[in-house]
Amino acid sequence: MNRILLAATAALLAATAHAQNRIPATTPVSPPLIVVEDKGGSSALPYYRALNPQDAQPGQPTAPQPAPQSKPRIGGPADAEAAMLPVRSVRLTPGNEPRRVIRAPGLTPLFLVGDDDRSRAWLKQRLTDLQALHAVGLVVHVATPEALAALRRLAPGLVLSPASGDDLAHRLGIKHYPVLITATGIEP
């Protein structure tokens, strides 16, 4: 075993010396790369071989290397969504938001709801209007995928996505949900 290792090392050294003698002295040599941070994962070498195959033998055509296939860390959209939960919006609570006029031309109608009795009743009452508007729902308070699924069952045909409403609440001065926001107004 040691003889094989010694023979392989000798062959590698001979090939390196041979390659170094073939490079003209005027050719600039790049400094070695410095690794700043290594978080593990797959080697990126197959991506670079297709660009500059330095390890190919002279006169030998290089075959493109297939890119390594990586497995997604999250199984699918439902897993990705579950990873976002729980959602809590600190600036918003269930309650009656006063009706007011706003000017937001081009704004797609959207509504804010949570996983609470007031929001569920509001969804049932406003369902037809929300569907006619093609409004998009943001679920600003929800803890589990099951609770989110239950809200979606109350609102067939509508998109309900878990998202914090804090930034929107700050920008529009909203303190309560459920609420409908259109290009022309905010209404409970």
Q: 37 is written with which tokens?
A: 């941070």
108/172 Cα distance (integer angstroms): 15
The mean pLDDT value for 83-97 works out to: 94
pLDDT class for 118, splitting at 50, 70, 90? very high
Query: Taking the domains of the chain in order of start, what are their residue ranges?
Result: 84-187
Which residues, other chains included, contact 22 with Cβ-Cβ below 8 Å and sequence gap of 6+? Answer: none
pLDDT class for 24, splitting at 50, 70, 90? low
Q: 181 is written with which tokens?
A: 């926001």
Average pLDDT for the chain: 79
Q: Tell me: the pLDDT tens digits for 30-84?
A: 777 777 777 777 766 666 565 655 555 555 555 555 555 554 455 677 778 888 8
Query: pLDDT at position 6, please?
Result: 42
Is pLDDT at 155 greater than 80 in this prediction?
A: yes
Q: Are 114 and 139 in contact (CB under 8 A)?
A: yes
178/121 Cα distance (integer angstroms): 10
CATH 3.40.30 fits 84-187, yes or no: yes
The mean pLDDT value for 94-110 works out to: 95
> 45-49, 121-125, 162-166: lowest mean pLDDT where?
45-49
Residue percentage of the chain with pLDDT more than 90 = 55
Is pLDDT at 90 greater than 60 in this prediction?
A: yes
- DSSP secondary structure, 45-112, as one string: HHHHHTT--TTSPTTPPPPPPPPPPPPPSS-SHHHHHHHT--B--TT-EES-PPPEE---TTPPPEEE
